[in-house]
Amino acid sequence: MKATLERLKGFFGASDEVIQRDDLVFLTVDKENLVSALTYLKNEAGFKHLVMMSVADWLEEGKFQFTYHVNSHELKKDIALRVFINRDNEDMYTIHTLWPTAMVYERENREMFGINFPGCPRVEENFVLEGWEEMPPNRRDFDTKEYSDKTFFPRDGRTTNDPREYMKEKLYSEEEK
Amino acid sequence: MVNWKEDRSKFPEKNPDGTNKIDLNSHKFVKIWQGPQHPGVTGNMALELTVQGDEIMESKTHVGYLHRGFEKLMERRRYIQCFPICIRVCVPEPDSNEYCLAAAAEELGGIEVPEKAKWLRTLALEMARLANYLQWTGGQCGSLGMGTVGQWTMYLRDYVLDRFEELTGGRVYHMYIIPGGVRSNVPDGFEKRMNEVLDEIETVMNKDIYNMMFNNAVFKTRTVGVGYIDPKIMEDYGVTGPNARAGGLIKDVRKDYPYLIYDKLDFEVAHGKDSDIYTRAMVRRNDLLTSVSLIRQILAKMPKDREIMAKMPNVLHWKIPKGQTYARIEASRGEFGYFMTSDGSAYPRRIVVRGPSYTHAMSLFEKMLINANIADVAATMVSLHTCPPEIER
């Protein structure tokens, strides 16, 4: 594990090491070094299992954070590689050649965050949303309230009544008074 | 005796890259949909199948029928308000979601959980696993037309839900595990009643269901050698849990990364090597019985102290320090995890759910169905134990 981390830092320029737990280390790599670093981790260092690939939106800093989380069953350790890319119209490299299952993650993130992955098969197909024309919904600046107000027919809110008056009106008709 | 063997030399026609050649205009192919409403599909998802005869040439999984945007909803809520949402990610086994979310928040917030709470959490997680496996056993038999087993397992599951009601107040959704500990202690006489349920489950599983399911000629013919997953592709396709263990890839988070009190309990990880539907069913049955044994051990060894909740500030004023972490557990379907990003405010920045079905039901299942028979689709799908809400979140 130590040698792997040294190699990642020395050869692939990984930085900002955060040891979250004994079995989980976060490292930040450049976008250009990502695919080669993951290839090294999978083919040489034994980190064969892609646990997950996720995106977090840092709207204030104008960045998307990718996290590629890989696991080694032999070492019982996890390494999570963080990659920061610009929020505006930047593409990301695809890793479907390393893990076929990454194709689904990439398809989902294209739909939910609007990040393109050139070269990934079937990436342009709809994943969850069909016929969606708005801003990708998992972006921080997508306003769910505004969207629902605009899309769905506005209904009257609930009315409240004073129970005493209301019951009187319901139970006793005008004539009885 | 007629020894008929089909000629596969010209059929199916292949593309240069090894995939099946499909020409929809040739009138040799038919596209059929299995789902989104179909008894042979777990939950609501659709399979778009291109078939020639009764052989599947291409399969595509379509999801989105259960999308409610849990991850997005959680970004706009305080940590405690996330709990009623996160449990909806998996209906048959909601406790794994509660635990992952609570564990991730505790790790980032540096909260120590009392010892008793750890035992109670393990109890709830194992009971959920037991209930979910019982439901699955019925589903697997139902997918092959043996509805009787499903009725037996559902009444057994109902007994487990009764015990959940005693312990947590809820039958299906419990919201029992929250940051800092658990919500309530075990009621009086719980141990005795739980043991009665476990005895009944063990008897029925070992006798009636074993004979009806594993010694059944129909079940064996339909499952042995069907739905094979090559162990070599398991790591590439992210296969975990019983699906991986049935192929000899022995992965179990309870043993590999012991959480809660699993290192104090004595258990063996069930596994097989044939990697077909029958082996997966057998692994799940053995896992179910392991769960029964674990619950007995927990009830016998549980400490008697009363403290079940750490001292926490007002729930509406929680702020989790900035950071990221990944909490994982072994759910009944495989490795289940929550990746939490906190920016130091009262709301989570982003929570990503890693459901085992995400990899099993999408890329793996699409690959498995090629050249399979239409009649085997339902059994194969149930044998992967997929749960669509985990895919679309």
Residue A166 lies in a domain: no
For the cut 80, the answer to whether the pLDDT of residue A166 exceeds it is yes
Residues B10-59: pLDDT tens digits?
777 888 888 888 888 888 899 999 878 887 777 788 899 999 888 899 99
Which of A21, A101, A130 lies closest to B359 in CB terms? A101
Q: Please report residues of A whose CB lies closer than 8 A to that of B76.
A: 144
Which run of H or of E encompasses B296? helix B277-301
Residue A168 lies in a domain: no
Backbone angles phi, psi at B20, to 5 degrees: -70, 140
> What is the signed CA dihedral for B306, B310, B312, B318, rounded to 10 degrees?
-130
For the cut 80, the answer to whether the pLDDT of residue B2 exceeds it is no
Residues B65-116: pLDDT tens digits?
888 889 999 998 999 999 999 999 888 899 999 999 999 999 999 999 999 9
Residues 6 or more apart in contact with residue A17 via CB below 8 angstroms:
A5, A9, A25, A26, A27
CATH code, domain with A100: 3.30.460.80
Compute the residue count for chain A.
Answer: 177
Residue A25 lies in a domain: yes
Residues B131-171: pLDDT tens digits?
999 999 999 999 898 889 999 999 999 999 999 999 999 99
B12 upstream amide cis, omega within 30 of 0: yes
Q: Please report residues of B whose CB lies closer than 8 A to that of A67.
A: 324, 339
Residue A157 lies in a domain: no
For the cut 80, the answer to whether the pLDDT of residue B175 exceeds it is yes
Question: Does residue B163 contact residue B96 with C-beta atoms inside 8 Å?
Answer: no
Mean pLDDT of chain A: 89
Q: Please report residues of A whose CB lies closer than 8 A to that of B249.
A: 73
Rg of chain B over all Cα atoms, to the nearest angstrom: 22
Q: List, in order of start, the domains of chain B with CATH numbers.
A: 74-392 (1.10.645.10)
CB contact under 8 A, A76 and B64: no
B178 has which bridge partners? B181
Q: How many CB atoms neighbour CB B218 within 10 A?
A: 12
Residues 6 or more apart in contact with residue B353 via CB below 8 angstroms:
B70, B71, B86, B89, B97, B337, B338, B339, B390, B393
Taking CA–CA distances from A96, the nearest residue in chain B reads B236
Residues B323-369: pLDDT tens digits?
999 999 999 999 999 999 999 899 999 999 998 988 888 889 999 99
Residues B259-297: pLDDT tens digits?
999 999 999 999 999 999 999 999 999 999 999 999 999
* Amino acid (one-letter) located at B300: A
Residue A163 lies in a domain: no
> What is the signed CA dihedral for B38, B40, B43, B47, rounded to 10 degrees?
-80
For the cut 60, the answer to whether the pLDDT of residue A122 exceeds it is yes
For the cut 60, the answer to whether the pLDDT of residue B314 exceeds it is yes
3 state DSSP class of B331: strand
ipTM score of the complex? 0.89
Q: Give the count of domains, chain A.
A: 1
Q: Please report residues of A whose CB lies closer than 8 A to that of B259.
A: none
Residue A117 lies in a domain: yes
Tell me the two tokens of residue B120.
């109670």
Tell me the two tokens of residue B217.
């000629």
**A69 close contact with B: CB closer than 8 A:** yes
pLDDT, position B54: 86
Distance CA A31, CA B242 (A): 35
Residues 6 or more apart in contact with residue A85 via CB below 8 angstroms:
A31, A63, A64, A66, A92, A115
Mutate to test the interface with A, among B340, B347, B350, B360 (most CBs of A within 10 A): B350
Distance CA B48, CA B135 (A): 26
Nearest 5 degrees, angle CA B240-CA B246-CA B248? 85
For the cut 60, the answer to whether the pLDDT of residue A177 exceeds it is no
3 state DSSP class of B12: coil
Taking CA–CA distances from A129, the nearest residue in chain B reads B64
pLDDT, position A174: 66
Gap from A144 CA to chain B (nearest CA, Å): 9
Residues 6 or more apart in contact with residue B48 via CB below 8 angstroms:
B31, B33, B59, B60, B61, B62
> What is the signed CA dihedral for B76, B80, B84, B85, rounded to 10 degrees?
30
DSSP character at residue B112: P
Question: Does residue B56 contact residue B372 with C-beta atoms inside 8 Å?
Answer: yes
What is the domain extent for residue A119? 2-152
B191 has which bridge partners? none
Nearest 5 degrees, angle CA B147-CA B151-CA B153? 115
Question: Does residue B86 contact residue B74 with C-beta atoms inside 8 Å?
Answer: yes
Residues A12-70: pLDDT tens digits?
888 888 999 899 999 999 999 999 999 999 999 999 999 999 999 999 999 999 999 99
